[in-house]
Structures are given as structure tokens and as C-alpha cells.
Structure 1
Amino acid sequence: MDWLIEFPSLGRRDLSALRQSVDEGFRTFSRAFGDNLEAFFSPLLKFLIWFENLLTNAPWPLVIAAIALLAWLGARSWKITVGTIFAFLVIGYFGMWEDTMATLAMISVATFVCITVGIPIGILMARSNIAQRIVTPILDIMQTIPSFVYLIPVVMLLGIGKVPGLLAVCIYALPPIVRLTNLGIRLVDKDVMEAADAFGASAREKLFGVQIPLALPNIFAGVNQTIMMALSMVVIASMIGVKGLGTPVLRAISNQYLALGLMNGLAIVALAIIFDRVSQTYGKRLQAYRETGHG
């Protein structure tokens, strides 16, 4: 029976040694490659700062007009376009314009990064079952691990600021675009692919001329989910120095400012609704266009 008494303490000692070795290894890695990683992400940081300054410093009527135009081009709905203009006017009236522009810049850049990285990974998964088996567990971990957990290594490597926040948002928001790109390409009718083969289409022509166009509704559904998940990270990203609507919400939580928290929370909801309606409507238009046989 002695081994039953000694076993737990032995396990704790081994676990403690394992933790120390992991911590020490990560510290060594961050000291050795931290500067290189910062240099690698420097262009992304400069672009994010430039875009944020552009939105913040541009005349507000011009910004609202540009956003309304994008909403109209995406949704082709006067209701959504007018609702978008009204929402941004209310946001400006209540003094949340700069924070909203900072959040808009962060979400836009994060979505761009997720699309740039996610669609090629989704295509690779659709073309290779081995790649799908390798990537799927990684996506599962990215979606299920608490966001506070992966903030730790990101902050340790890159410190506090915009880039760590952007990476945290991208890690959380990337899986939907990857999964739905993979799904959309795999759902392309086999008869269509056989017809493309019969016409002598190359692999590249089949991908860009047949599979991606037919998978666009699914891909845009992934873009929609990526945007929603990126917006849900706004408050958490504010904890590591990301400016935006999450910062006042965090301050409201710390100081029990109910009105401040509600106003900025509703501004985040307004952005989410606008992004959701525009991207969903655009996806439905693509679906209808495909079903009529004009794609």
C-alpha cells in the first residue's frame, strides 16, 4: 500500500519539473526569436496603424459615405444601407466614433488576414485528405481552447499592443473560413468536375474556374462567421492594449459604469449586425446567382 501513498507526490514532482522545463524552454525561445518575430509582424503593424489613422482622421461624412457605399454594394438593400448610416450617426453622436473606428480597423485587418491565410488552407484540405486529417485537430484546438490561454504565449513573445491583439483575434476567428472553404469545395458536384475533365481543364483551371466559384456561398458564410468571432474578441483583446470599443467596456466592468458599458456594448452589437446582414445578403445573392445558372 506504500506505493499508493507515494505515487501522487511523485506525480506532482514530475509534473512540476515538466512545467518548469516548458516555461524555461519558452522563455529561451522568446529571448532568441522575439525580436525576429516583431520584425516579421512590423509591416502588418504599420498597415494597421495607417488604416486606423485613416479612418479616425478622415472627415466623418466621408467615412460614413464610404461605409454606406460598401453596405449597398454588398447587400443591395436600401434598408440595410440606411440602417448602417443611422447606426454610425448614433455612434458619433454618443462620442464613440474614435473607438469604433479603431475597432473597425482591427476587425477589417483581422478578417483580411484570416481570408488570406484561411482560404488557401481550406483549399489544401479539400484537395488532400491527409492535410484535412492534420489540420482538423488544430482547428478544433483553436476553437475550443479558452482565449485567455493563448493570450499568454502571444503576450510573452510580442508584449502588449496591437499585434498581439490582432494575432489573438486571428487565432480565434480563423477556423470558420478554413472549415467552410474546405466544405464548399468538397460539395462541388462530381458531375461538374467530370465535365471539366472532359473539356481538358487543368487542375488550376478546375480550381479557379469551377470549384471556387461554385463554393463562393460557403466561403462567404465562412467570412461571415469569421467577422462575428473577431468582433466577439474585441473586449478580450482590449486587455492586452488594443484600443477600441472593448477598452471602455473593460473600464466599465472595472468601475461598475453601467451606462458606459451598455453604450459601447451596443456599438459592438451594431457593428456585428451590419457586418452580418451585409455578408449574409451578399452570400444569398451569390447562391441565387449560382442556382439560376449564370455563374
Structure 2
Amino acid sequence: MSLEEVLSKVNDINTKISAITEDVDLLKKKNKDKEDREMITSALVRSRSRSPRSSREDDRTRRSSRERGERSWADIVDSELHPEEEDVDSSQLIEVSEDTHRLLTGSCTRNMSNEMRKRVRGRYKLPKVEATRTPRMDPVIKTLAPQVARSADKELARIQTFVLDALAPISSILENIDGMTAEDVTEASMAATELLGNANAKISRLRREKLIASINRNLIPMLQDDVIFGDVAPNLFGPDFSRRAKEFLDQVSALKSLTHPTRHSQGQTSGTSYRRPLLHRGPPLGRGSGRGRGGGPSHPHHKGVPSGHGERPSHSH
């Protein structure tokens, strides 16, 4: 066998070794991914089925962590990011012109239509930076998370997209400031303000919907009217919300009585009539909700707003 043949065989062996090495590395990677998925699944199963004893141990661990000064994100939210603790000294606030005041108020209280949002954002390009995109849910988490968690994440991701919209005009200023006129900078700043304000308005609406959904879902359509909440700052609902909610429910009740006359007449012949409390919890009171002539409603306890404008059911004899 010549030297050339020997070298050729050695090269063949090296090639095969390299191929085997690549296969081994690929297999290791697949095994690692599988182990990661199994680890996450196991952790979720343990957290869902943990015993009271393990819960007590977790509580002791959390207390120990806090004693060592190690705080979780929830701790930070409760202690440092609560809105009531963000009141600033008036000396730290600046006076703004009437035009700026009008821009800020309108932007932060009114939800943009999707068409308007695209038109404002479309004047500027988003930067080619992955971190400025709304993160997608990882496939492994998507398969493990329950539907309620995925729905909540979808709402948050939508709001996150609105917040990131403002980076388009802001990035334009940062990249092109040397070649921009004062008018260009002003327009870009106003666009960023409008987009950030839109995100703020949508967050406020989402907060209202979550709160009202836990009290009386019949009031949710009322929350779509931004005009009602245009002057409620610094509160979320404003002092007139109880009155407006009562008027809205009265209108809904009147419309229902027109569309369901038979049910209305039956309520009159029974000798008992009901008026819904301001923020009644649950579906409208209907046929069969009383206990006979002069009897009270089948749901005597109703949850109302703190202002005390709710009304108790009245009985006509």
C-alpha cells in the first residue's frame, strides 16, 4: 500500500469521525431540550399538587428570603410601584402650555382607532432591534400554560405592542436628529406622545373592564365611551360614575321592557316589581326571582359601589 493510499484512508476516517461527532452533538442537544421540557412539566405538576406541608415550607422559604433582603417582583410591585405611592411633590412638576396640556390630556384619555394608530405610527419606521418587538410566547410554555393564562397573556401582549409603538418616532429622532428641523422633531415628539397616550388609555380601559366585570358585567358596554372618562383624573372612574352607571342601567332596563313586554306584564300581574341595584352582581332579575306576592327577591344581598348610590329592590302592592 502506497503512502497516498494510507493518507486517503486516514482522511476518510477523519471525515467519518467528524460526521459521528456532529451526530453526537445533535443528539445531546435534543436530549437537553427534552430534559428542559420534562423539568418544566415536573415543576408545574409539583406546584399544582403540592401538599399543605410543602406550602408551609415555601412560606418559610419566602420569609427567609425577605429577611435576607432578597425581594421578588411581586414585592417590588407592592412596595415600590403602587400608584398611591407615586404622588410627587408639586415642585417636581413643570407647568405646560395650554396646547401641550390639551395634547397630553387627549392622548392619555382617548383610545385611538386601529386605523388612526396605523396612520400615526406609519409615518415612522420601527428600529431593526429584536428587543423592541413584543415577545412571542415560547412553544413549550404555550403547550403547558392553561387557557386562562394564555388569554391573560394575550391581553398583556396587545398592550405591550401599543407601548412599543412609540419607539418608532423616538428612534427616528435619535437616529436623524442632526438632519431634522425643529418642526420635524416636534412632529415626531407629538406622534410619540399620541402613541404612548393611546397605550395608557387602553390600559385604563382594561383596568376598568376587569374591575366592573367582577361587579356587574352589564356595565361593560358603558366603558367603551371615552368621553365619560375624559375628566376623571386622577381617579379611574371619577365621582360621577355611580350616577352615570345608574342612568345607563335604567336605559338598559327600559329597552328590555320594550323588547320583552310579556315578561314585564307578568311582573305586574304578580303584584311584585323589582328595580335592579346600581351594581347588581349577576344577570338581571327575571321571572321566578321572587317568592310570591309581597315576597323579597331571591338574591337579597347585592354588591354596590362605595359611594352608596345603589338602590334596594322596591315592592309595589
Output the TM-score relative to the length of structure 2. 0.30
Q: Which has the larger radius of gyration?
A: 2
What's the TM-score, normalizing by structure 1?
0.31
